[in-house]
Amino acid sequence: MCFDISVFELFYPLTMGGTVLLADNALVIGELPWADDITLINTVPSVMSSVIDLPRFPPSVRTVTLVGEPLRRDLVQRIYARPGISRVVNLYGPTEDTVFSTQGETCREDPNEPTIGRPIANTRCHVLDAALQPVPVLHVGELYLAGQGVARGYHARPELTAERFLAAPFVDDPGARMYKTGDLARYLPDGRLECLGRMDTQVKVSGYRIELGEIEAALTQLDEVRQAVVIVREIHGDRRLIGYYVPQAPSDDPATTQERIRTRLAQILPGYMVPAVFVAVGSFPMTPNGKIDRNELPAPIEHGRRPDSLPGHLEALSPTERKVAFAWAEVLALDPVAIGKHDGFYELGGHSLLLTALAPRLEALFARKIAVADLFRFSTLESLAGWLDADEAAGPDGSVTSAAKHRGERSRQAFLARRRTHRREPVT
């Protein structure tokens, strides 16, 4: 009842002679006595993603309108797969422009991600640069909304009103205002608008400016991913990208699935935009208004800790796994007993820059050339050790040299000495 769209959902049907019925939860609509009378569902995509999978989906539904969150092609296709549904409409608009500003009709055969469409009647959309000048088609700018839907401002907050509600250009009315949405967008050649996420979701990680929405969009293009959210967390003092996802299907081997996701994502995005850690969840935590609550997402290392990551488990590791664990511990500034057989380098706080520090340590331990690309491919302790063992078995003598063994023991002893003096090697 506190959501802005409740005004539309309650009063629009009443003004048109319709009936408003209340349900405690959207997930029970298929079981209600009047379910067969529902012809339109209007909600946010994250809620619809659960509603569409209900065993008892209202068979009378013909139209689905979605608003409030980015809409992905996978969900559109799942909705169209339900018999009887003829329209799926992607709506966009903030409270400050009376909830709805644009609408985008989707097509069941369209292989592209949905757009937010075109402005509705009596609404104007401007994509402007920092100087409030229009940007060319296909160029990204900030989206501003003008027209009859724009509010007067914020109650009793004149400074915020002045910041967000600006004089509307390109019209003769001197009192006209436009609303600064804070959303990035661009016009496509056919006149449709593509929303590219919030300007305030732009983050800086390892010196790179990154749009989190761009990573989320790339993740949802993968066959393994149904929904995705990317946030930034601090791990061992470094800012890292964490990718949370709801899998399309349960997996018996999440680590293998995540390695596949990481590899495929690296083919779409630059390396610095690939999340350091992936966390699979059954569903995302929601706010009372039905939006994803990013603040309640589980901490990645706590989420990913496994039973074998306990003091004393080192004895259960193979000799190669123990060597790799000590090398990881040096680079990640961890105690080796905190590294489990199935743990991943990225899950424990590693990133691509630290791989360049890890490679020479492993080369010294195993007396062979090790490429950073190989470390990227084998990101768990078990898989990396398995690859090293297989590579060693394929060598001419099947064993490392005594000099390499000496270097490995020297590296381990140096690490233990640093632990005893509570010193840490600087991390690049």
**DSSP string computed for 80-104:** HTSTT--EEEEEE--GGGTS--EEE
Q: Reduced to 3 states, what is the DSSP secondary structure of residue 19?
A: coil
Q: What is residue 260's predicted lDDT score, i.e. its pLDDT?
A: 87
> Whole-angstrom Cα distance, residue 390 to residue 394?
6
- Among 271, 276, 274, 227, which Cα is nearest to 247's? 227
Distance of CA 137 to the CA centre of its chain: 27
Q: In the block, which residue shows the tokens 């609303």?
A: 179
Instruction: Find the helix packing angle between 352-366 and 319-332, rounded to 10°.
Output: 140
Backbone angles phi, psi at 98, to 5 degrees: 60, 40
Rounded to 5, what percent of the chain is helix, strand, coil? 35, 20, 45
Which residues, in sequence order, are CB contacts of 297 under 8 Å at separation 6+? 229, 231, 242, 244, 279, 281, 284, 285
Virtual torsion, Cα 252, 256, 262, 264, nearest 10 deg: -90
User: How is residue 257 written in tokens?
Assistant: 């699935």
Task: Determine contact, residues 149/97, Cβ cutoff 8 Å.
Answer: yes
| Tens digit of pLDDT at every position of the chain (428 positions) | 667 888 888 898 899 998 888 887 777 888 888 889 999 999 888 788 888 888 889 999 999 999 988 888 989 999 999 999 999 999 999 999 988 999 999 999 998 899 999 999 999 999 999 999 999 999 999 999 999 999 999 999 999 999 999 999 888 888 899 999 999 999 999 999 999 877 776 677 765 778 888 899 889 889 899 889 999 887 655 677 889 998 888 776 777 788 889 889 988 888 888 887 888 888 888 887 777 888 888 877 544 344 334 444 555 788 898 889 888 887 776 667 668 787 788 777 676 667 777 888 898 888 888 887 788 788 888 889 999 988 666 554 444 444 444 444 444 454 445 444 444 444 43
CA atoms within 13 A on the CB side of 387: 16
Backbone angles phi, psi at 71, to 5 degrees: -100, 130
pTM for the predicted model, two decimal places: 0.57
Q: What is residue 423's predicted lDDT score, i.e. its pLDDT?
A: 40
Q: What is residue 232's predicted lDDT score, i.e. its pLDDT?
A: 87
Rg for the chain, CA atoms, rounded: 27
- Among 165, 168, 164, 184, which Cα is nearest to 176's? 168
Q: What is residue 306's predicted lDDT score, i.e. its pLDDT?
A: 40
Q: Quick one: residue 146, left, alpha or beta (phi over 0 = left, psi -120 to 50 = alpha)? A: beta
Instruction: Find the helix packing angle between 402-420 and 319-332, rounded to 10°.
Output: 50
Which domains can be identified in the chain, with CATH numbers?
1-92 (3.40.50.980), 121-205 (2.30.38.10), 210-304 (3.30.300.30), 313-420 (1.10.1200.10)
User: How is residue 342 written in tokens?
Assistant: 């199935």
- Among 259, 257, 273, 263, which Cα is nearest to 217's? 273
